[in-house]
Amino acid sequence: MRALIDAIKTHNYAYYVLDNPTLEDSEYDQLRRSLLELEEAYPDLVQPDSPINQVGDMPLSAFTQVTHDIPMLSLGNVFEYDDLRDFMRRVNDRLSVSQQNPEYEMELKLDGLAVSLKYVHGKFVQAVTRGDGQTGEDITQNAKTIRNLPLWLAAAADIELLEVRGEVLMPKAGFERLNRLAEENEGKTFANPRNAAAGSLRQLDPSVAASRPLAFYGYSVNQGLPESIDTQSAALAWLTDIGFTVSAVEVVQNPRAAQAYYESVIEARSDLPFEIDGMVIKVNNLALQQQLGFLSREPRWATAYKFPAETVMTRLNDIEWQV
């Protein structure tokens, strides 16, 4: 357990703080699963510094640190249809008979960096990274350079405080161009678009962020949503109406429909202009979301339905090659 904890912490630091991962996500996920299995088998031995319930890692001290009004958490994971049904069963277990089998809403799981944006009477005032979930980095100046991030929302002028959360990502074409340029100039290349987006947004010089092809996709309204809006799908439609780009949305009524949409997105995945690493499935009704609440690291009303890894690293040991 100690070895796993130390390894996970080292990899968290490289990934979340340095934006420079030192192993594949699938290998990292395996380390987490091994630690979780040990913790479940030996609950008395769970270490006080276990990273299992931790969100992200500490914010970079070079930026002003901002405490989130509402914590920015992570998401639980499911990897196959049976896990998805277990997730839906757990949701049902916490609902009354008349609330059973709620409608779900599905979104693309954008592979970027979570950011909270604040607007006061329609004017963009602050952007903060997720950081460790409680405290993030103030990246307002860099966020201002993101081309599709609205700096003024006429339709929200009468909302005192609007908080929109979403993902900052780097489209695949921009990422490839950036790495090609870096190679030509013998500069540092990025492991993947997610790390390129995170590294670009957490630059001290906003002109560097401005030169990078970043985009913002909204996925939730955490403060200031008009009271007449009562579902996640309507909240995203409203975000689109007032000027944001959001991820594709599908409302489904049962696990089979969710599975069918998930499979159709896997088919279309390589044609998307940006990387996704799964789908996010959310209880659509906002009042039910509130009723279901949160675990320490994730909401009970949503989970990530991850895609199978496209490639897995294999080391060939002790093989005698015959030529």
Annotated binding residues, written as ranges, equal 25-29, 74-75, 107, 130, 167, 282, 306
Rounded to a whole number of angstroms, the minimum distance from the CB of residue 237 to ligand NAD is: 14
Contacts of 286 (CB under 8 A, 6+ apart): 225, 229, 230, 231, 232, 235
Q: Is 11 in the site for ligand NAD (CB under 6 A)?
A: yes
Q: Which is closer to ligand NAD, CB of 14 or CB of 60?
A: 14
Of 24-32, 34-42, 153-161, 260-268: span binding ligand NAD (CB under 6 A):
24-32
Helices and strands (DSSP H and E) totals, the chain:
10, 11
Q: Which is closer to ligand NAD, CB of 8 or CB of 162?
A: 8
Residue among 124, 109, 114 nearest 157 (CA): 124
Burial state string for 79-103 with b = 16 or more CB within 10 A and e = fewer than 16: beeeebbebbeebeeeeeeebeebe
Q: Phi and psi (nearest 5°) for 228? A: -70, -10
Q: Is 212 in the site for ligand NAD (CB under 6 A)?
A: no
Tell me the C-alpha to C-alpha distance, in Å, between residue 154 and each of 121, 141, 143, 151, 159: 9, 21, 19, 10, 10
Of 15-23, 82-90, 173-181, 287-295: span binding ligand NAD (CB under 6 A):
15-23
Rounded to a whole number of angstroms, the minimum distance from the CB of residue 219 to ligand NAD is: 4
- Is residue 155 classed as helix, strand or coil in its secondary structure? helix
Interaction residues for ligand NAD, span 82-101 (CB under 6 A): none
Contacts of 79 (CB under 8 A, 6+ apart): 305, 306, 308
Residue 3's Cβ-count burial label (10 Å; 0-12, 13-18, 19+) is: exposed
Q: Which is closer to ligand NAD, CB of 179 or CB of 303?
A: 303
Both structure tokens of 308: 């199978």
Of 12-20, 221-229, 254-262, 265-273: span binding ligand NAD (CB under 6 A):
12-20
Of 20-28, 89-97, 150-158, 309-317: span binding ligand NAD (CB under 6 A):
20-28
Q: Which of 19, 60, 68, 130 binds ligand NAD (CB under 6 A)?
A: 130
Q: Which of 219, 238, 274, 301 binds ligand NAD (CB under 6 A)?
A: 219
- Count the site residues for ligand NAD by CB under 6 A: 21
Which residue is catalytic, options 109, 118, 123, 188?
109
The DSSP string of 182-244 is: HHHTT-PPPSSHHHHHHHHHT-SSHHHHHTS--EEEEEEEEE---TT--BHHHHHHHHHHHT-
Verify whether residue 109 is a known catalytic residue.
yes
Interaction residues for ligand NAD, span 60-79 (CB under 6 A): 74-75
Q: Which is closer to ligand NAD, CB of 22 or CB of 207?
A: 22
CA 65-71-77 angle, to 5 degrees, is 120
Q: Is 109 in the site for ligand NAD (CB under 6 A)?
A: yes
Q: Is 222 in the site for ligand NAD (CB under 6 A)?
A: no
Q: Which of 4, 5, 19, 21 binds ligand NAD (CB under 6 A)?
A: 21
Tokens 């005698």 — which residue? Answer: 320
Binding site for ligand NAD (CB under 6 A): 11-12, 14-15, 21, 23, 25, 28-29, 74-75, 107, 109-110, 114, 130, 167, 219, 247, 280, 304
The set of catalytic residues is 109
